[in-house]
Every structure is written in structure tokens, then in C-alpha cells.
């Protein structure tokens, strides 16, 4: 079943066209990677899906429902949550408060508690630091907090924007293995990455975005073998 379908979506910042009618889809249970260079339109795509930006043309459907014109808070309520680029934790709030914010759409106390337990189980470091201000965490811990925060709303589809950004290689590996675990636990994932190698190594399928258009698509393992992908994104 298609969880997310993006059809012919165009987005422009003033006169600059960032997305020129892109189409792609995400199936239930998949990890789909969207890779591309700086300025290709990866972040724009994610922000348009989560409602932070408006598409001028095209349609976005989530589980068969048109969400193109919904505001971001309504989209989160439907079970589609974004981990924004650069983590964007609430730095002057504690780790615990950050997680509680993640569960903002969850109204019941018991569900909130269950969510906290789940996140602390997956990220034991966050449990140790739950009363610390989020701004004092290391980059890796902040990324984990951003992911944990997003998981608090029990999303069915998780959008991840550059989870590897600014992290040491060892941490990148850790973050990606956590992404795989989250996926195995039943969350569909759409991942935007500059680190094409890491993204392709965990994704089922991938799309290559080039200056606002999708230039290549296919199973991640196949894309990894393509000479043009190797040359442009894998540095070989």
C-alpha cells in the first residue's frame, strides 16, 4: 500500500523554482532515501510534505488523503512527523520537556508515559540526561533527542532530514542503525541525505534529486552500482 504519494509537485521561492514537478511514492514499511547534492531541493521536498511550505502545483496524498493544503499541525495529527534539518531541539528546555513536546498531539497520560518508556529504551542516553537542558547535549545526543522527540507522536511515517549532518562518522553509523531499528519496529521512513553511501546502505529504494528534478530512481542496491551515482555521489 502506498503510504505517501507525491504527484507533479512544484515549489518556488519567489521566482526561483526549487522543485520542478517531482513525483515519487513511499510504500508501507519501506525506507526510502532521497539523495542529491546541496541545493537539489531535498529539504524543500520534506518541508512541503510536512506542510511547512506550500506546493504551487501538484498533489501530496498520505494514506489516500489529500494533504497538500493542510497546515503542519494537522499533518502531524495524521501520523506523519518530521525530524527537521539541523535537529532543532528546544535548547532551553530539558530533555524530558523536549520529549513531552514531541507528544503534543498525544492527549492521554498513559500513552505519554508509554511513549517515554519506549524512547528511553531505544535511547538510554536520553534517560540519563532527562533533566539536562537540551542545548547542553552533544551533537549526536541532540540528533537522538530529535529522533526520540519525533517518535513520541507515534508516527506511521517518519521524515528524516539529514540525520548525519555534523556528526562524527562513528555516530553516523550508530544513528543509521537506529533508523533501521525504528523501521523494523514498524515505522515507514523517508530519509533525505547528502551522505549517499550511508543512505543507500540502509534504504530499500531511493530517488536521486538533481536541481529540482528526479533524475534516477530504483532499488537502493541497484542505484549504488550505477556508474553515474558512483561518480557524482559516492566519490569513486
Partner 1 sequence: MEQWLSSVIDPYYQQVLMLVGIYIIAALGLNLITGLCGQLTFGHAAFLSIGAYTAAILTRDFHLPFILSLVLGGLMAALFGILLGIPVLRLTGDYLGIATLGFGEIVRVAFTNMKITGGAIGLAAIPRASNLINVTFFVILAVAAVVLLENSRFGRALKAIREDEIAAEAMGINAMWYKIQAFGIGCFLAGISGGFYAHLLQYLNPNDFGFLKSFEILNFVVLGGLGSIPGTIVGTTVLTLAPEFLRFVQEYRMMIYGLLLVLMMIFRPHGLLGGVNFRRLLRRRKQKATALSS
Interacting residues with partner 1 (CB under 8 A): 50-52, 71-73, 76-77, 81-84, 88-93, 97, 100-102, 104-105, 149-150, 153
Q: Which is nearer to partner 1, 36 or 102 (CB)?
A: 102
* Best CA proximity match to 142, nearest among 123, 121, 156: 123
DSSP 82: E
Residue 139 Cβ, how far from partner 1 at the closest point, in Å?
Answer: 16
Q: Which is nearer to partner 1, 149 or 205 (CB)?
A: 149
Residues 6+ apart with CB under 8 A from 164: 172, 175, 176, 193, 194, 195, 198
CA distance 52 to 66: 15
Torsion of CA 171, 174, 178, 180, to 10 degrees: 120
Please say which residue, 39 or 71, places its beta carbon nearer to partner 1.
71
Q: With contact defined as beta carbons under 8 Å apart, do 95 and 126 qualify?
A: yes
Our CB check for partner 1 shows the closer of 31 and 146 to be: 146
- Shortest Å distance, C-beta 218 to partner 1: 30
Nearest approach in angstroms of CB 90 to partner 1 is 4
Pairing of strands 31-36, 188-193: parallel
Question: How far, rounded to the nearest angstrom, does the alpha carbon of residue 48 sit from its chain's CA centroid?
Answer: 12
* 111 vs 228, beta carbon nearer partner 1: 111
DSSP alpha helices (H): ranges in the chain? 42-49, 72-77, 95-102, 109-122, 124-128, 139-151, 169-184, 196-202, 220-225, 227-229
Q: Cell triple for residue 217? A: 530512481
CB of 51 to partner 1, least distance (A): 8
Q: Is the Cβ of residue 42 or residue 205 nearer to partner 1 in the bound state?
A: 42
Q: How far is the CB of 201 from partner 1 (least distance, A)?
A: 27
Amino acid at each position: 500500500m502506498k503510504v505517501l504519494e507525491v504527484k507533479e509537485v512544484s515549489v518556488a521561492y519567489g521566482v526561483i523554482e526549487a522543485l520542478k514537478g517531482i513525483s515519487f511514492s513511499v510504500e508501507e514499511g519501506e525506507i526510502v532515501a532521497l539523495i542529491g547534492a546541496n541545493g537539489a531541493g531535498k529539504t524543500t521536498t520534506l518541508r512541503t510534505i510536512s506542510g511547512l511550505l506550500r506546493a504551487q502545483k501538484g498533489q501530496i496524498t498520505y494514506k489516500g488523503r489529500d494533504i497538500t493544503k493542510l497546515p503542519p499541525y494537522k499533518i502531524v495529527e495524521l501520523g506523519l512527523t518530521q525530524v527537521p534539518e539541523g535537529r532543532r531541539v528546544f535548547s532551553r528546555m530539558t530533555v524530558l520537556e523536549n520529549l513531552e513536546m514531541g507528544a503534543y498531539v498525544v492527549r492521554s497520560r498513559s500513552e505519554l508515559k508509554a511513549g517515554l518508556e519506549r524512547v528511553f529504551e531505544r535511547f538510554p542516553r536520553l534517560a540519563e540526561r532527562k533533566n539536562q537542558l537540551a542545548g547542553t547535549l552533544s551533537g549526536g545526543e541532540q540528533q537522538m533527542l530529535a529522533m526520540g522527540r519525533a517518535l513520541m507522536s507515534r508516527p506511521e511515517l517518519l521524515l528524516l532530514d539529514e540525520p548525519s549532518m555534523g556528526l562524527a562518522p562513528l555516530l553516523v553509523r550508530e544513528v543509521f542503525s537506529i533508523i533501521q531499528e525504528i523501521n523494523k519496529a514498524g515505522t515507514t521512513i523517508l530519509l533525505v541525505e547528502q551522505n549517499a553511501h550511508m543512505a543507500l546502505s540502509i534504504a530499500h529504494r531511493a530517488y536521486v534529486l538533481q536541481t529540482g528534478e528526479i533524475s534516477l530512481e530504483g532499488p537502493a542496491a541497484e542505484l549504488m552500482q550505477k556508474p553515474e551515482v558512483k561518480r557524482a555521489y559516492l566519490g569513486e
